[in-house]
Amino acid sequence: MIVVTGAAGMIGSAVVWKLNEMGINDILLVDKLRNEDKWLNIRKRDYRDWMDRDVFLDWLFQEAEANEITAIVHMGACSATTETDGDYLMSNNYAYTKALWEYCSQRNIRFIYASSAATYGAGEQGYHDMVSPEELKALKPLNKYGYSKKRFDDWAFKQKSHPSIWAGLKFFNVYGPQEYHKGRMASMVFHSFRQYKETGKVKLFQSHKEGYEDGGQLRDFVYVKDVVDIIYYMLTQNFESGIYNIGTGQARSFLDLAMATIKAAAGREDIQVSDVIEFIPMPEDLRGKYQYFTQAQMEKLGNTTYHLHMHSLEEGVKDYVQNYLSQEDAYL
């Protein structure tokens, strides 16, 4: 049995979709549904059982059924970079993950967990994952969320006992189906599509940094289907345990992303930037904190036997827009 925590969230539910696609349904889903529409992410899924995250740890260490677990994919966390309650973040993102690590270590089973590219902070030290624990420790996150993720990464490397195989995945800018419950935290593809359909235009921030044109801020956008292909590989193949960047290794601009979204939505290529993009001033309070460049260094994953094609920005956005966002049923 495979456990997926955060199973109704964007990446967690996409992992369950991928497992179903590969003929696997012996899956325990762990999450909290609350009042959000996350339940729609798992409506079409086939799985063994569901469990509330608040009772999962007690069950895990007490029930005989837990002996059937072969791997835990831990995507459950508070992922809002704007969350200000540090105690909540440390309990949710740090302490809970420690408990799962200890269980997997005791049972010698596989553990895949969500770290975050937010651990890199402003990127002054680059975005390299082929580094020592000491170099990872020197990273300076910009918010409490990033710190809660970094704190666990640092703790993991100090442990003498560890799961049979483990990986902490530093996701960059993930976009794709299953993000509809995230509101303002959903990807720019989702928001660009909505804006274009409603107004015929998309708003992007002007640049306030020399060397970057308006809309030229760069991010490593990675399609959720590629993310779960990598996670499935890590569940089924042997590889070196450690921290892995999960991106494309190719930074692209918000203007590229917005234009790819618009062209996919319109079904045509002959669209001019001036006709569909409106550049607006960046809020004053963001100007000193805004990242203008992130790009995952992907050598570590490249050194494994994982060699599947990853979607280009245009390929991923086209699939997302035309096969999901434009459809009555937008879910995997």
- Give tens-digit pLDDT for 210-239: 899 999 999 999 999 999 999 999 999 999
Q: How far apart are CA 114 and CA 131, in angstroms?
A: 18
Tell me: pLDDT of 83 over 70. Answer: no
Token pair for 115 = 């770290």
Domains of the chain, with CATH numbers?
2-176+221-249+295-311 (3.40.50.720)
* Beta-sheet strands, E only, within the chain: 2-5, 27-31, 49-52, 71-74, 110-114, 166-171, 173-175, 202-205, 218-219, 221-223, 242-246, 252-253, 277-280
Residues across the chain: 332
Q: What is the pLDDT of residues 292-332, one digit of tens each?
A: 899 999 999 999 999 989 999 999 999 999 999 999 999 99
Asked if 313 and 261 touch (Cβ cutoff 8 Å), the reply is no
Question: In what helix (H) or strand (E) does residue 101 lie, and over which residues does it extend?
Answer: helix 96-107
Q: What is the pLDDT of residues 112-163, one digit of tens each?
A: 999 989 899 888 888 999 988 888 889 988 888 888 889 999 999 999 999 9
Helix axes 224-236, 10-21, angle to 10 degrees: 60
User: Can you give the pTM of this predicted structure?
Assistant: 0.95
The residues assigned a catalytic role are 145, 182
Tell me: pLDDT of 82 over 70. Answer: no
Token pair for 144 = 């409490």
Cα 139 to Cα 98, 153, 177, 178, 327: the distances in Å are 20, 11, 31, 30, 42
For position 81, what pLDDT does the model report? Answer: 59
- Going by C-alpha positions, the residue among 179, 181, 264 that lies closest to residue 222 is 179
Asked if 266 and 202 touch (Cβ cutoff 8 Å), the reply is no
Q: Which amino acid is at 170?
A: K
* 218-219 and 252-253 strand pairing: antiparallel
- Going by C-alpha positions, the residue among 161, 187, 173 that lies closest to residue 104 is 161
3-state secondary structure 269-306: CCCCHHHHEEEECCCHHHHCCCCCECCCCCHHHHCCCC
